[in-house]
Structure 1
Amino acid sequence: MTRRVALLVFDGVTLLDVSGPMEVLHQAGAYEAQLVSPAGGAVTASNGVVLGATAPPEAVGPLDTLVIAGADHLAAAGPDEELLTAAGRLTAQARRTASVCSGAFVLAALGLLDGRRATTHWRHARTLALRHPRVRVEPDALHIADGPFHTSAGISAGIDLTLALVEHDLGAEAARAVARELVVFMQRPGGQSQFSTALATPPARSDLLRTLTDAVLADPAADHGLPAMAAAAAVSTRHLGRLFQAELGTTPARWVERVRLDRAQQLLLDGHGVTATARLSGLGSDETLRRAFARHLGTTPSEFRERFGSAQGAPVSGR
């Protein structure tokens, strides 16, 4: 059975949001994909590439899947009425709808994500949450499925999302075959972080806090409790807490936990078992590790290791 897929594009669209999912669908061989735009005809991507001969929404019949691509202006100014009208019409004709990157702003503006979990590019996540407070924005996920709506993080995450759709439709082996052909990593689950704490956190402005955060990043398993860090910095625990809030926008405990979670992910990918990972990352116990993975990534350490570690070719040791 051939599944009909429409990719909604428009002037200023990010080209990889379109070409990445389209190539996955093409390689899978069980999809008939077409480009659709609000008025039909040619549209120009943000990098100047012209996408010609797009269909207007009224020329599109029932769909298995609608994919809404993204663009920076959707987050900056919001989608225009013409795009919203086209998206609303196409969504009503589709069994499921997916968005890539800031394409989530289209679904949110239509009210389709109200009360649902969703993600977008980490740079736009705060804007999405503020503009659409009824959407449960999860800025750290690569892709999320909630009912018939699938949302993904920035740009290349559209490939991960589309591989997940192929896996759901055709099975894991079909998705792996596509990933091998495209030479991409098929096994990035939706729970994988978009970015590491070290990259996502702005650098500390003060020398004092920069020294402390560098020490945590260098050795997450060391004692980085609030009293120990305050003593190392020769300040009170209250003052240290204020510094973290002022410069990093979080508490010392939460920041340290995210650093340890980053290290735990890498340890699992390197082949360490759950117990060893908990100890070496500084999270301590299996249960603490499991809670951290569930809270921040929506998965378990074992599932993360099984879906990731084997693709790395590393032997899995320990529990």
Structure 2
Amino acid sequence: MIAVLALDGAPGHHLTTPGLVLATACREHPGVSYEVRLCAAPGFRATGGPGPALALRPPYGLEGTENADVVVIPGHDGPRAAQPPEGVLAALRAVVARQGRVAAVGTGTFTLAATGLLDGRRATTGWRHVEELAALYPHIDVDPAGTVLEDGPFCTAAGVFGGMDVCLRLLARDYGRQVAGQTSRELITPLHADADSVQEAIDREVAESTGLEPTLRWIDAHLHLPLTLGEIAAHARTSTSGVTRRFRAHTGLSPLQYVLRTRLHEAMRLLRETDTPVEAIAHATGFTSPTALRHHLRALTGTTPRAYRRAHAPAGGPPARGPSKPPRQ
């Protein structure tokens, strides 16, 4: 049983995504079974942005989490340094004490962090809030580039798609990667190109507003080479500390973290769209070896390059061999 814990100001799509993903899995796979409960935390009044606020009356309160196998904490409004509503921390600790799991999406990671259960573990949140999370909770190893991170019974995510990746990860744990991959194709595959385009548009807007566009184009064109911080700073015509400040201020990442993210996104694109061997993809995207690519891809997605390719293979057959994406013009 999955309990979605709604704190005041949780985005509406964060509350409905678990039901969408898991109902799709149940519909397409008769052996898959989930109950999803929407539980209101004390003080919940309405959903938050994006979109209009909706006044909801969830059928459960905190008692709905008492026998949950997994509790999902969506993002929510409000001061992130403030303590969660009364009873929330005890309820989350009780889930873990009975060997259940807790997943946090976006700013929901701050609520989970307040329990102290993430101390000494890796976690992530939306890139706009990674520095704040690290400052408030210095005992957590905050990963600014993580899309989905698992550490013990905890799963945290940036929340770009309202927790869809978290739900797919839970599905893979419960019913295997094949079921999760097929559900992913049902839900996500049509979005991949759009998601890439949106990310590129965001990167371009950020770069153009900060004068980083030429350097980002240069990085794209030289992914196959070992890029150092000094080389990136020299191309941006600034110091290493200066280029680091500009990258962190406008992308939430250091220059080398940005390079790693770009390498991974390009490697994932090649795995989805071509049949280029993994070894060649690792070389083309600047990883020192296929082992390095496997390590970083597993850290990001929880899977291997070959498993990622199988999970995202087009329904009509294997992808065609193709060249890597051309650099930005």
Q: TM-score range by the shorter chain?
A: 0.7 to 0.9
Deviation at 1:298, TM superposition (A): 7.0
Q: Does 1:203 align with 2:207?
A: yes
Match of 2:267 in 1: 264
Q: Does 1:274 align with 2:273?
A: no
Where do residues 104-143 of structure 1 align in structure 2 (5 Å cutoff)?
Answer: 104-143=109-148
Deviation at 1:109, TM superposition (A): 0.3
Q: Does 1:147 align with 2:152?
A: yes
Q: List gaps (5 residues or longer) in structure 2.
A: 27-31, 193-197, 323-329
Match of 2:106 in 1: 101
Q: Distance in 2 between matches of 1:86 and 1:206?
A: 44
| 1:250-296 CA distance string (max 9 Å, x none) | 87666555544443333333322233223433446546655665787
Match of 1:191 in 2: none
Deviation at 1:313, TM superposition (A): 5.4
Q: Kindly name which structure, 1 or 2, has the bigger radius of gyration based on alpha carbons.
A: 1
| 1:186-223 CA distance string (max 9 Å, x none) | 9x9xxxxx96798399527776x653433333453468
Q: Distance in 1 between matches of 2:180 and 2:93?
A: 29
Q: Distance in 2 between matches of 1:48 and 1:19?
A: 14
Q: List gaps (5 residues or longer) in structure 1.
A: 189-193
Match of 2:219 in 1: 216
How many aligned residue pairs are there? 304
Does the 8 A contact of 1:197 with 1:258 survive in 2? no
Q: Distance in 2 between matches of 1:123 and 1:216?
A: 22
Does the 8 A contact of 2:204 with 2:213 survive in 1? no
Q: Does 1:57 align with 2:62?
A: yes
Specify which of 12, 15, 18 is matched with residue 18 of structure 1: 15
The alpha-carbon distance between structure 1 residues 114 and 303, as it changes in their structure 2 partners (threshold 3 A), is same
Q: Distance in 2 between matches of 1:227 and 1:125?
A: 24
SS in structure 2 of the partner of residue 12 of structure 1: coil
Does the 8 A contact of 2:233 with 2:243 survive in 1? no
SS in structure 2 of the partner of residue 52 of structure 1: coil
Q: TM-score, normalised by structure 1?
A: 0.73
Deviation at 1:130, TM superposition (A): 1.2
Q: TM-score, normalised by structure 2?
A: 0.71
Specify which of 45, 66, 74 is matched with residue 69 of structure 1: 74
Match of 1:245 in 2: 244
Q: Distance in 2 between matches of 1:296 and 1:173?
A: 18
Letter in 2 for 1:119: T
SS in structure 1 of the partner of residue 223 of structure 2: coil
Match of 1:45 in 2: 47
Specify which of 5, 25, 34 is matched with residue 8 of structure 1: 5
Where do residues 84-95 of structure 1 align in structure 2 (5 Å cutoff)?
Answer: 84-88=89-93, 92=97, 95=100
Q: Distance in 2 between matches of 1:56 and 1:262?
A: 40
Specify which of 163, 169, 177 is matched with residue 168 of structure 2: 163
Q: Percent identity?
A: 32
Does the 8 A contact of 2:130 with 2:143 survive in 1? yes
